[in-house]
Amino acid sequence: MAPFRPRAAHAVVLVCVAGASATRRVRPLRAPASAPSRLELGRRAAASALALGAVCASARREPARALDEYTKLGAGFRGDGKTKSRFSDFNLTASGLQYRDFKLGSGEPPKKGERVVVDWDGVTIGYQGRYFQTRNKPKGGEFAGIDAVSYLSFVVGDGKVIPAIDEAVRGMRTGGIRRIIVPEELGYPKDGFARIGPAPATFSGKRALDFVLSSKESTMMDKTLMFDLKLVKVDRR
């Protein structure tokens, strides 16, 4: 009688689950592959070395690229080529001023030496969008004379207002309304609005504007401002 030989295709295993029994067919283990030759091992080692070298080279390049980007960013915060926000629906002048006209007005634009009267609003658009001058919102800490209108009056070209406003009104007409985006270099000097206008009419407005203007360079605060200007009158005498 021939000896008993188990079938190689499948083995039968009993599995007991929670007191019940079931059968499962399990494929037999395959014989291990033959050991690789020395030549094949050498090829594998060479491929691994090349892959490791590529990873190390990539790791060396990444910090360098990141450092270059950081250096450019740092230079921007110092004022060297700082990237400005560009609004597509605004016109851009050679000085970097951005403006948009909501109403063109009538008559001839004012010239240098002519006195103008301007109604204005101001917002710290680069920092939390705080109004520091407005006619259509509550006047904050000041209650006396809140209905009085604080117009801005100056002679075009006399240096008594920030460069952005002086430039903006030269292209406006009486009754016209223009919104301008003012980068730091076209805005207030380092001492703020103490000697150059326009100055906010209220205590709360002065405090909001001064908080932005007096911030140190190390804070990296965006000092971009936005003004709405309405040319009320031009004195051509």
Per residue in 56-91, pLDDT (tens digit) is 444 444 433 333 332 233 333 344 444 567 888 999
90-117 pLDDT, tens digit each: 999 999 999 999 999 999 999 999 999 9
Q: How confident is the model at residue 128 (pLDDT cuts 50, 70, 90)?
A: confident
What does the alpha-carbon distance between residue 75 and residue 72 come to, in Å, rounded to a whole number?
Answer: 5
Task: Out of 41-50, 101-110, 200-209, pick the least confident.
Answer: 41-50
Is the full-model pTM beyond 0.85?
A: no
Q: What pLDDT, on a 0 to 100 scale, did the predictor assign at position 61? A: 42
What does the alpha-carbon distance between residue 38 and residue 50 come to, in Å, rounded to a whole number?
Answer: 19
Q: How confident is the model at residue 171 (pLDDT cuts 50, 70, 90)?
A: very high
Instruction: Give first-to-last CA distance, the chain, whole Å.
Output: 134
Token reading at 137:
């919102």
